[in-house]
Chains A and B, each alone.
Chain A
């Protein structure tokens, strides 16, 4: 009988006992193994690409501009009289695969590229890896009559980035630039370089960006320099504004990796900007 009473009492209390437990603790852990997003805000750091690809059906319009050299004097309004421009489009076929086209005023060059995000950083995966393949075609009418294939250059690049915190991301970007025909004897057809870049947030919308392309095997008498760029990035919803200073006037691999003529520390610095606008074309 005593047992029965005990049982009834316990039964009576059971729901109450359960009630005292926090139900929340019994829910599954929903933290998930999600991939890291927004390692960089833009598809470009300064001149070079970042690991970011556009999401499926997103179209990015990108307009990039480099003025002349800051050290060109007041007569030239410190470079503002000159302008080099690239207009481009990048489209996400899937969340990981994108294609782009562009036209640079420098050498009247057309370019096209494909970009594929091979690996995304997530718990257990330390880095995001994106592969880039690009093609460029100079249409400038020169002194010499170039054959079409002589006007072409190609680049292959592996972009490897890690978002270190919600504020800082770093990137390593080895690149191989191949030119079918070089302009001078002081250039080589196949140039290897290592891109190093970083982005650090100052506020939630403003960040500092920097990038350096170290040429690994330049011709010993190469008249060119390694490309260096630093800048400020402002992200406002659909737009990314990047205001930058770089010793390069080119905005595609051939031009900035292998043909950067300015010496940054001698004042051959170009003020410039990249402005992007992203449109969602479908779902």
Chain B
């Protein structure tokens, strides 16, 4: 009886006591559009993400409305005309890290493989990045390119010189134990 209580306790300890699950401590997502007439940049620091260290699984949810632009009107058009954020309020990623060795600490090059969902369109993607594992922190950095047409985001012809067809996205997240 004592033994079984101990074992059940051990089980719980493993699952809940010393979590291998990491959540966002701080992070930001930036995107950048480089077009002939103007460069557009937007930043959000509001994102949720979970990283499961043993399995290398990773999930992100990014509210579209939280992106901040220098020009407010641009921010409104981004939400209303292009991302249709009332209909598709979040962009998500769910997948795992390939090339990730959980026994190592320090920085390693990895590839996040999984499904990226933007504007209601899901795509299989591979995103190269780095992961830095510290005793109580994990840091994930990645930069990748999103082609607007892949996600059915159409730029009116009048504005093709203002908005790039491919957007550079930079993700940087510091995780803490959950």
Binding site for B on A (CB under 8 A): 3-4, 7, 10-11, 14-16, 18-19, 22-24, 26-28, 30-32, 34, 36-38, 55-58, 95, 166, 204-205, 236-238, 278, 280, 283
Cα A76 to Cα B156 with chains together (Å) = 38
Question: What's the A-B contact tally at a CB cutoff of 8 Å?
Answer: 110
Q: Within 8 Å CB of B61, what residues of A?
A: 24, 27-28, 30
Main SS of the interface on chain B?
mixed
Q: How far is the CB of B43 from chain A (nearest CB, A)?
A: 12
Query: Is there a chain A Cβ closer than 8 Å to B105's Cβ?
Result: no
Main SS of the interface on chain A?
loop
Cα A56 to Cα B61 with chains together (Å) = 29
Q: How far is the CB of A243 from chain B (nearest CB, A)?
A: 16
Counting contact residues on chain B (CB < 8 A from A), the size range is: 35 or more
Contact A236 B158 (CB under 8 A): yes
Contact B89 A30 (CB under 8 A): yes
Complex: chain A residue closest to B81, CB-CB: A204
Binary CB contact string for chain B from 51 to 87 against chain A (1 if under 8 A, 0 otherwise): 0101101111111010000111110110111001111
Contact B156 A204 (CB under 8 A): yes
Contact B10 A11 (CB under 8 A): yes
Q: Within 8 Å CB of B94, what residues of A?
A: 22-24
Contact B89 A14 (CB under 8 A): no
Contact B70 A280 (CB under 8 A): yes
Q: How far is the CB of B41 from chain A (nearest CB, A)?
A: 13
Q: List the 9 closest A-B pairs by CB distance, nearest first.
A: A23-B59, A55-B72, A19-B55, A38-B80, A15-B54, A7-B7, A30-B63, A24-B94, A31-B89
- On whether A23 and B50 interact (CB within 8 A), knowing A4-B3, A11-B11, A236-B156, the answer reads yes
- On whether A34 and B57 interact (CB within 8 A), knowing A23-B52, A166-B84, A280-B70, the answer reads no
Contact B49 A27 (CB under 8 A): yes
Query: Is there a chain A Cβ closer than 8 Å to B30's Cβ?
Result: no
Pick the contact of A16 from B49, B55, B73, B74 — CB < 8 Å? B55
Q: Within 8 Å CB of A30, what residues of B?
A: 48, 61-63, 89-90
Having A31-B90, A58-B72, A236-B158, one finds 14 other A-B pairs with CB under 8 Å, namely A15-B20, A19-B52, A22-B59, A23-B52, A23-B57, A23-B59, A27-B59, A27-B61, A30-B62, A31-B89, A32-B65, A55-B73, A237-B74, A283-B70
Q: Within 8 Å CB of A4, what residues of B?
A: 3, 7
Q: How far is the CB of B114 from chain A (nearest CB, A)?
A: 9
Query: Is there a chain A Cβ closer than 8 Å to B15's Cβ?
Result: yes
Complex: chain A residue closest to B24, CB-CB: A27
- On whether A166 and B7 interact (CB within 8 A), knowing A18-B52, A237-B77, A280-B72, the answer reads no
Binary CB contact string for chain B from 133 to 155 against chain A (1 if under 8 A, 0 otherwise): 00000000000000000000010
Q: Within 8 Å CB of A280, what residues of B?
A: 70-73
